[in-house]
Chain A
C-alpha cells in the first residue's frame, strides 16, 4: 500500500463514529467549533503516528519525504479533516525545538506535541510590535525561582486552549531592537497569565490578547542562548517550504467550486465569467508554484519561496472572497443568525494579507533577500 493509500485508509477508518461531526469543521472563522472533540482528534492523530511526519526519526518523527508529507496534507483535506488544533506545536514550536532546543527540552516537549496532548500558542506580536517584531516590550527577568515575564501579546491564536506559549521577550538590560531578546517557553495555566478573546470583524473570536503579569517559567526554559532569541525566532522561517500548501489548496478548490456553482445556479455566470476563469487560472498557478517549490530537481532555491507563495495565495484568496460576494449580490449583505461560509470567506480573507508577515513586509523581504536592494532606513 502506498503512503497515500495508508493515509486515506486510516482517515476513512478513524474520521467516523465519535469524530464524524468534525468533517469540514474548524479553520478561519470557525475555530470555535467542536473544540473538545478536535482536541481528542489531535490525540487520535498522535496515536496513529500522523503528527510530526516530517520530523526526523531520532526525535520521534516519521522522517517522511516531502512527497509523502504533501500526500498526507492532500488526503487530509480531501477527507474533510478538521482544522488542526495542534498545528502551532507541530509546525512552529516542534521544529524550533528540534533545530535550537537542548536535549532536555526536546525530551520534555516533543512527545507531548507528537501525542497531541500538549497544545501550543505563539507569543510574538504585541500592541506596539506587529510588522516590527524587534520592537517587543515584554520583559523577562531571571530570578532564583526562574524567569519572571511581564508584558502583553496580541493575535495569539488558540491561546485559550494552549498549555504552553513560546514567547519572545527582552531579557538583557539596556539592549535594543533584535539584540537581547530571548525565546522562552511559558506554561499557560498559572495566575500570572490572563487570556482575553479579541472579537474580530466577523463578530467571532479566535485570536486573543495575553497578559503576562509576573508570569513564571523555569530557568531552563530558554531556547538557544539567552539573548539570542531573535535568531531562534527567525530560524524557523528558513525551514518553511510550504508543504501544507497543497493541502490548503484542496480547501481553496472547494471554496472556488462553491462560488462557481453559485454563479451557475443564480444565473450570474455570464456576468462574472472573466473573473471566474481568472480565479480558476490563479488556483492552477498556485498549484504549479507549490509543485515547483517542492521539487528538488527544479531550479536552485531563491530563498524567498515562502514570501512569494504568500504574496500569491493571500491576495488570490482575498479576491475569491470578494468575487463570492459579487456573485451572491445584495443578498450577501444580510446575516441569518450566523455567517454563511462565503461571508466568512469574504471577511476572514482580510486577515490573510496581514498575519504571518503582512504583504508589505513580504515585499521588503523579497527586495532585500532575493535582490539585495538596500533598506530605505539604516
Chain B
C-alpha cells in the first residue's frame, strides 16, 4: 500500500461512514469541518504532494456526490500555491477559508460561491483573486452542487488563467470518474438482485452487454483522468481531454443507470437521478466536451 492508497482508503472509509448521497441535498458545515480538520484533506496542496493526491480524494468525493466546496477550494489552493500567492493559503489549508472558481469568466452561475470568502476569476487571459464579492444563491437542477449569481469588484491579477482551468478540468475528471464508477456499481447491484421472468436481470445478455459497454467507458475515463492527474508538460492537452472523456462517460453511465433501474430509477426516492443531474452539471459547465476535445487537438498541434 502506498501513501496514496492509504489516503484513498481513509477518505473512502470516512465518507462511506459519515455521508449518504441523500444527505448531500443540504449544506453541512460540520462535515466540512471534519473533512478539513480530522482528515486534513485541504492541507494537501500546502504539503507539496502531487495534484494526483487531491484527485484521488476527488474520486472518493465524487462517489458520494459530496456537497462541500472541496473541488473548488482544492483547485484554488493548488493554483495559488503554484503561483506563490500566499495570503489565503493557510486559511484554505485548515478549511476556514473556502474558494469559488469562475475560470470561464462567467459570474451568472458560480458553483460553491455562497459561503466562499475567495473567488478565483478569469478576466480574459488573466487569473484574478477577488475578495470583495456577493453571491446570491440560485435554485439548481442538481441539488448536490450549489450555484450562485455573483457580483464582484475587480480583483488582483496573479497569473494566467489557463493553468488554473487545466487543474479544474483534471479535478472534474477525477470527480466524474469516482461518481461514474459508483453509479455503475449501484446499477450492477440492482441487476444482480432484481428478478423478472424468474431470473435476475443481470442474466439477460442485452443488459450484460450494456454493463460491459459502460465498464469500458468508465475504464477509459479512469485512464484519461489518471493520466491527466500525473501529466506535467502534457497537462494543457491532457486536462481538457480528460474532462471531456470523463464527463461523457459519466453522462452515459448515469443516463443508462436510470434505464437499467427501470421504474424505480425514475423516482425521486432513488439516487440515480442525483448522479444523472450531477453528470449533466459537470458536462455543461466549464466547457462542453466537443469544444474541449477540439481545444486539446489544437494544443497538441494537430
Contact = CB atoms under 8 A, between A and B. Distances in A.
B26 interface: no
A129 interface: no
B252 interface: no
A374 B223 contact: no
Contacts of B220: 285, 288-289, 308, 312
Interface in B157-195: 188, 191-192
Interface in A204-245: none
Contact of B203 (A291, A363, A370, A376): A376
Given A285-B223, A311-B216, A373-B191, A278 B293 contact: yes
A70 to B, nearest CB: 15
B218 to A, nearest CB: 9
Nearest to B227: A288
B223 A373 contact: no
Contacts of B222: 292, 299
Interface size class on chain B is 35 or more
Given A281-B293, A298-B226, A374 B203 contact: yes
A297 B50 CA distance: 15
B245 interface: yes
Interface in B199-236: 199-200, 202-205, 208-209, 211-213, 215-216, 219-220, 222-224, 226-227
A50 B99 CA distance: 55
Interface string B10-36: 000000000000000000000000000
Contacts of B227: 287-288, 291-292
Given A280-B297, A373-B208, A285 B215 contact: no
A249 to B, nearest CB: 13
A360 B209 contact: yes
A138 interface: no
Contacts of A373: 188, 191-192, 200, 202-203, 208, 211
- Of the candidates B200, B211, B244, the one having the most CB atoms from chain A within 10 angstroms of its own CB is B211
- Counting chain B CB atoms within 10 Å of each CB, which of A274, A292, A368 scores highest? A292
A254 to B, nearest CB: 14
B76 to A, nearest CB: 26
B290 interface: yes
B300 interface: yes
A281 B241 contact: yes
A363 B206 CA distance: 10
B156 interface: no
A4 to B, nearest CB: 18
Contact of A277 (B188, B205, B245, B297): B297
Name, among B209, B216, B226, the residue most crowded by chain A CB atoms within 10 Å (CB to CB).
B216
A287 B238 CA distance: 11
Interface in A295-313: 297-299, 302, 304, 308, 311-312
B296 interface: yes
Given A302-B219, A375-B203, A285 B294 contact: no
Contact of B224 (A280, A284, A367, A374): A284
Contact of A312 (B192, B216, B290, B296): B216
A372 B223 contact: no
Given A362-B212, A363-B212, A367-B211, A374 B202 contact: yes
B223 A376 contact: no
Interface string B251-278: 0000000000000000000000000000
Interface of B: 2, 188, 191-192, 199-200, 202-205, 208-209, 211-213, 215-216, 219-220, 222-224, 226-227, 237-238, 241, 244-245, 290, 293-294, 296-297, 300, 302
Given A298-B226, A366-B212, 7 more contacts: A260-B302, A277-B293, A280-B300, A281-B241, A285-B245, A297-B2, A371-B188
Interface of A: 260, 273-274, 277-278, 280-281, 284-285, 287-289, 291-293, 297-299, 302, 304, 308, 311-312, 360, 362-364, 366-368, 370-376
